[in-house]
Amino acid sequence: MILYNITFYVDLEYVNDFKAYLNDHHISNLQQDDRVIDYTLFKLLNVDESETMTLSLQYKLKDMNAYNHHLSTTDFQLKNEVSKKYGDKVLYFCSVLEKL
């Protein structure tokens, strides 16, 4: 099993819009993908929130083949849309972990 994590730094004025965007677009795509086992959206608590909120979207994929397919399709689309819609108001980085 592969755990894919996307950590987002969201300008405070865009938090509600961004969460709605994630739910309406990206998470709805995850729900339809049979390679995605589960997903959860988290808010990081031990960070400075004076300018940004830090969110973490984590989801489990069946295996590396599922991850590679996801990376080239759904994830690629998400990153393009976030960049176009939010520019530098939403920054992110990704992590990939494998369950041992």
pLDDT at site 19: 96
Residues with Cβ < 8 Å from 51, sequence gap 6 or more?
11, 12
HSE-up of 71 (CA within 13 Å, CB side)?
A: 13
**CA dist 39 → 32, 59, 70 (Å):** 12, 4, 14
pLDDT at site 33: 85
Please write the tens of the pLDDT for every residue from 48-62. Answer: 788 899 999 999 999
**CA dist 86 → 4, 25, 29, 82 (Å):** 22, 14, 19, 6
pLDDT at site 35: 86
Q: Which fold has domain 2-98?
A: Alpha-Beta Plaits (3.30.70)
Residue 51 is given by DSSP the state S
pLDDT at site 25: 87
Please write the tens of the pLDDT for every residue from 3-14. Answer: 999 999 999 999
Query: For the chain, which residues score pLDDT lower than 50?
Result: none
pLDDT at site 32: 84
pTM to 2 decimal places = 0.89
| Annotated domain spans of the chain | 2-98
SS3 category, 12: helix
pLDDT at site 30: 83
